[in-house]
Amino acid sequence: MAEPVLRLEGVTKSYNVGTPVEIEVLHGISATVGAGEFVALVGPSGSGKSTLLNIIGLLERPTSGTVFISGENATALDEAGVTRLRGRTIGFVFQFHHLLPAFSALENVMMPQIIDRGRPEPDMAATAKDLLARVGLTGKENNRPTQLSGGQQQRVAIARALAARPALVLADEPTGNLDSKSADDVFALMREFNRDQNTAFLLVTHDPRLAARCDRVIELFDGRVASS
């Protein structure tokens, strides 16, 4: 069996540790996402989805348990190691696209690679231009975010997430701010990249229609995996 892109073993997360108001929000989460899988993460508000996504994205550390990304134990890494692993193996798409308003669509797509390598390089622009073409934005490369519709901005965000060819893309309600037609288009784009590049996706969604179109659903309830 190939190593999963993501493997969680007994992950817990507590806040205010050691104080009278300590609270544990994740209780021994174990789960996997395989290479090329397209998995939905669902659950009611307050179930721990955002906290878990932050831990998977290496933005927070678990209180206990282990996180493996592409076979590497992220929990054992120092901050420099975590930054390296996150930058080279994980892409992010959010409900609000978080594009940089002062930069063009092309520059926004290039940004993760510029940050990773410390400087712009010629191949980055070519990669970004190709990705923008793949998401249907040929001719919009020099447009700034304010010159694009909400659906177009989210397409730029998808291209940006894929610029470094990550093994795993974390998509947090990526269609939650879009009308149904734009939401379907954005979902179809993510599915296309998932199939063409064997990129794994973990999609947080409240939309049961989208969850039903994923390969598998992981359901959280009160900080525990209810089904997977």
Residue 1 confidence class, pLDDT cut points 50, 70, 90: low
| Residue with the larger pLDDT of the pair 69 and 97 | 69
91 Cβ partners below 8 Å, 6+ apart?
112, 160, 161, 162, 163, 164, 166, 168, 169, 170, 199
Q: How much is the pTM? A: 0.86
Task: Provide the percentage of residues in the chain whose pLDDT is more than 90.
Answer: 37
Q: Please provide the average confidence, as pLDDT, over all residues in the chain.
A: 87
Nearest CA among 173, 180, 174, 139 for reference residue 160: 174
Give 189-224 pLDDT, tens digit per residue.
888 889 888 899 999 988 888 889 999 999 999 889
- List the chain domain ranges: 6-227
Residue 122 confidence (pLDDT) = 77
pLDDT at 206: 83
Residue predicted with more confidence, 67 or 97 = 67
Contacts of 205 (CB under 8 A, 6+ apart): 40, 41, 42, 173, 175, 176, 211
What architecture is the 6-227 domain classified under in CATH? 3-Layer(aba) Sandwich (3.40)
